[in-house]
Amino acid sequence: MTFQTMLATMAVGMLRTFGVFVLTLLGSLPLGMVVALLKKSRFALVRALVGAYISIMRGTPLMLQLLVWYFGPYYLFGWSISGWRFPAIVLGFVLNYAAYFAEIYRGGIESIPVGQNEAAVVLGYSRTQTFMRIVLPQVVKRIMPSVTNEVITLVKDTSLAFTLAYQEVFSLAKQISASQTSFMPFLIAGVFYFVANYAVEFGMGLIEKVLDYYR
């Protein structure tokens, strides 16, 4: 296999990895906010259920969760899992990362002084208006470094999709390396992950500068 053929083959895996990454962010970022707000619910049962969800997602390996989401429907209900591989991967990543983002959001929300909420009430703001116009803009600014770290981790964690035999860049690198007895596929994969993380860090850094309005 020539270098060009190897690179073209792995490029397909890179696109699949990018797909998992993008869909995970699109699903986990908003879901994490929902989970964070439910964690602060006035109802004890809701708080307990959400707390259990976060504990399970953060306390068990992502690899195990992927296996559960993929094989669970078959072993528990006898459903066919044909064509379920990619949805199971995305579902597993979204639910896992939503739990981490939820805790980041919760920390950001709780860091806002209570006096700001009280002032908003005096000014006649509703709870929704207070959150959207006063709390959320400050939360986004404060949590950006933590979110950036999680997004960078996500880029690397996409390699866990190989657990379900999904042909992403890491899986292809292992297969090509074994068949060609070459270390080059691992170098290509390493460059891909490095460039992807650099792009994430650069992009998030630009967002942080935009939000650094005090300067």
Q: Is the pLDDT of residue 66 over 90?
A: yes
User: Does residue 71 have a pLDDT over 60?
Assistant: yes
Give the per-residue SS3 of 6-37.
HHHHHHHHHHHHHHHHHHHHHHHHHHHHHHHH
In angstroms, the CA 27 to CA 20 distance is: 11
SS3 1: coil
Euclidean distance between CA atoms 132 and 58, whole angstroms = 28
- Mean pLDDT of all residues in 83-101: 94
Cβ contact 67:137 at 8 Å: no
**Out of 91-95, 120-124, 209-213, which region has the weakest mean confidence (pLDDT)?**
209-213
Average pLDDT over residues 158-172: 87
Domain ranges in the chain are: 3-211
d(CA 59, CA 99): 10
- Alpha carbon of 184 to those of 8, 165, 166, 176: distances in Å? 13, 21, 21, 9
Write down the pTM of the prediction: 0.89
**Cα(106)–Cα(115) distance, integer angstroms:** 17
Q: Which residue has the tokens 């044909």?
A: 82
- Answer for the pair 69, 92: CB distance below 8 angstroms, yes or no: yes
User: For residue range 15-52, what is the model confidence (pLDDT) as tens digits?
Assistant: 999 999 999 999 999 999 999 999 988 899 999 999 99
Rounded Cα distance between 77 and 48, Å, is 27
Pick the CATH number of 3-211 from 1.10.10.10, 2.60.40.10, 1.10.3720.10, 3.40.50.12780: 1.10.3720.10
CB-CB contact of 188 with 175 (8 Å): no
